[in-house]
Chains A and B, each alone.
Chain A
Amino acid sequence: KNQVEQSPQSLIILEGKNCTLQCNYTVSPFSNLRWYKQDTGRGPVSLTIMTFSENTKSNGRYTATLDADTKQSSLHITASQLSDSASYICVVSARYGNKLVFGAGTILRVKS
């Protein structure tokens, strides 16, 4: 069964600190993996996308990594800001089919 598991479920960090969110998947055959940021009460917005051949992708203070062999991805946030408080969702696309597989998300709260 195609699944995406994210950890931790929630995380609280102090402003200025770094953090890393994890995503494990069983989707096969793998096509690509995206990380989305979803502010409370809003729609998700794409942060990064990685294909099978990519193992690192950055978008400002956000850096995603992908290990296709172990089927794991991480999202590292550097020098966190209050505006980083949101839910971060890992989404995996299979090479065939018309659906995406969504993780349940990690809720990040950055406090001052």
Chain B
Amino acid sequence: DGGITQSPKYLFRKEGQNVTLSCEQNLNHDAMYWYRQDPGQGLRLIYYSQIVNDFQKGDIAEGYSVSREKKESFPLTVTSAQKNPTAFYLCATGERTDEQFFGPGTRLTVL
């Protein structure tokens, strides 16, 4: 986990509610990533950012939004448009795409 923190560790969402997952890093990495992990599946990329004030959609961006106002922070908002948000969410950072360091994760559950 190193210098990557994710909060909260557990999050519960009601139907129709937006929630924001926090990811902070002190590794001075330019690139940050958000992944979703579901049982029996590989990690899937939601969004990534290679520089402040810029971010790109990954493979499953629908129903999610991000911002990158500071190098250290890359929050992910799960909107009400995401119909099946229950999953384990992982934030990662790195200087290169092929070398990513992962945070401890946030488990989101829909009530």
Q: How many A-B residue pairs have CB under 8 A?
A: 52
Is A45 on the interface with B (CB-CB < 8 A)?
yes
Q: Pick the contact of B104 from A9, A42, A100 — CB < 8 Å?
A: A42
Considering only residues 1-34 of chain B, those with a C-beta below 8 Å from chain A are: 1, 4
Q: Which of B40, B42, B45, B50 has the most CB of A within 10 A?
A: B42
B90 CB → nearest A CB, Å: 6
CB contacts (< 8 Å) of B48 on chain A: these are 98
The total of chain A residues at the interface (CB under 8 A) is 24
The total of chain B residues at the interface (CB under 8 A) is 26
B8 CB → nearest A CB, Å: 13
Is A102 on the interface with B (CB-CB < 8 A)?
yes
Contact, CB under 8 Å: B105 / A43: yes
Q: What residues make up the interface of B, taking CB atoms closer than 8 Å to A?
A: 1, 4, 40-45, 48, 50, 56, 58-59, 88, 90, 92, 97-105, 107
Instruction: Add 12 more A-B contacts to A43-B103, A49-B98, A103-B42 (CB < 8 A).
Output: A31-B98, A36-B102, A43-B102, A44-B90, A45-B102, A89-B43, A93-B97, A99-B58, A100-B100, A102-B43, A104-B41, A104-B42
